[in-house]
Amino acid sequence: MTSYASKRCITCGDVYHMLQSGEGFPEYGNHTDSRWCIECYGLVLGALKDVKPKFIKRTVNVLETEMYSGVNVSQVLEWEREEILAHEGMLYARRVFVPLFDTVNPGNHNSVRQVFAQDGEFKGTPFILSTWSLSPDKNSVLIEMEYNVLLDKLTVPWKEYRR
Ligand SMILES: [Zn+2]
């Protein structure tokens, strides 16, 4: 099933129809902003093509950061335990990530999930915990950081803003 939406372009005022999802959607995959018709959106993309990013999201091991290098796996496992206990008996949403696979030892399972610091100076900071069922020495703590291109350094945790 497909659904078309009729829209009026905010720039030229033309009415256009866009496929929002379903069969054939990829053919319109580059038309991801419903404010403009396809022609105007092409001009917008062309005008912005030479703009260089100033900030980039990078997921890194905490050991690569200055401020979080002291956060270790056992601390984050403890925060995770506290988080689970605090939600005892209730469902709660957790952000999980695609795991890695151990092709040499398929029984070695990886789990990657977000854990918020429960206390201390980093309380509320979202860390990413990666654990392995058979090789705990490979467990690690990651964090999504904002990489400042001009300063050439990781500065603060990445934050998403809705548009
Ligand atoms: Zn237009």
pLDDT above 50 for 29: no
Tens-place pLDDT, residues 47-65? 999 999 999 999 999 999 9
- Give the type of residue at 124: G
Q: Can you give 34-85 as a three-state secondary structure string?
A: CCCCHHHHHHHHHHHCCCCCCEEEEEEEHHHCCCCCCCCHHHHHHHHHHHHH
pLDDT above 50 for 39: yes
pLDDT of residue 91: 79
Q: Lowest-pLDDT range, 77-86, 87-96, 118-127, 141-150?
A: 87-96
Q: How far is the CA of 87 from the centre of ligand 1 (A)?
A: 49
Whole-model pTM?
A: 0.74
> Residues 31, 41: contact at Cβ < 8 Å?
yes
Q: How far is the CA of 35 from the centre of ligand 1 (A)?
A: 9
pLDDT above 60 for 158: yes
pLDDT of residue 47: 93
Q: How far is the CA of 39 from the centre of ligand 1 (A)?
A: 6
Q: How far is the CA of 161 from the centre of ligand 1 (A)?
A: 26
pLDDT of residue 45: 87
Q: How far is the CA of 9 from the centre of ligand 1 (A)?
A: 5
Residues 134, 113: Cα–Cα separation, whole Å: 17
Q: How far is the CA of 33 from the centre of ligand 1 (A)?
A: 12
- CA 152 to chain CA centroid, Å, is 21
Residues 129, 124: Cα–Cα separation, whole Å: 15
Q: How far is CA 125 from CA 16, 20, 100, 108, 115, in A?
A: 43, 35, 23, 28, 8
